[in-house]
Amino acid sequence: MAGKKGLWIALGSCGFLLFAGAAFIAIIVFSVVRHLEVRPVSTAAAEQEYGRLRDRFAGQTPLLEIDRDRPEQIRINRSAERISQAGISTIHICAWNPRESKIVKLDLPLWLLRLRPNSESIHWNWSGNELNLENLNVTVEDVERRGPGLILNFEGRHGERVLLWSE
- Computed from CA positions of residues 123, 22, 109, 106, in that sequence, does the dihedral angle turn out positive or negative? positive
Q: Mean pLDDT score of the chain, rounded to an integer?
A: 78
Put residue 94 in one of left, alpha, beta given phi > 0 → left and psi -120 to 50 → alpha.
Answer: beta
pLDDT confidence of residue 57: 92
**pLDDT tens-place string over residues 87-133:** 889 989 999 888 889 998 988 888 777 776 554 555 554 444 444 44
pLDDT confidence of residue 37: 87
User: Alpha carbon of 101 to those of 35, 104, 105, 163, 166: distances in Å?
Assistant: 20, 10, 13, 16, 25
Percent of the chain whose pLDDT exceeds 70? 75
Q: Is 60 exceeded by the pLDDT of residue 21?
A: yes
Region 49-58: mean pLDDT is: 92
Cβ-proximal residues to 48 (8 Å cutoff; 6+ apart), any chain:
none
pLDDT confidence of residue 121: 52
Q: Is 70 exceeded by the pLDDT of residue 81?
A: no
Regarding pTM above 0.75, the answer is no
pLDDT confidence of residue 66: 82
Measured distance CA(49)–CA(54) in Å, rounded: 9
pLDDT confidence of residue 127: 47
Range from 6-10, 59-63, 68-72 that averages highest in pLDDT: 59-63
Measured distance CA(5)–CA(15) in Å, rounded: 15
Region 149-160: mean pLDDT is: 87
pLDDT confidence of residue 147: 84
Cβ-proximal residues to 166 (8 Å cutoff; 6+ apart), any chain:
88, 90, 91, 92, 143, 146, 147, 148, 149, 151
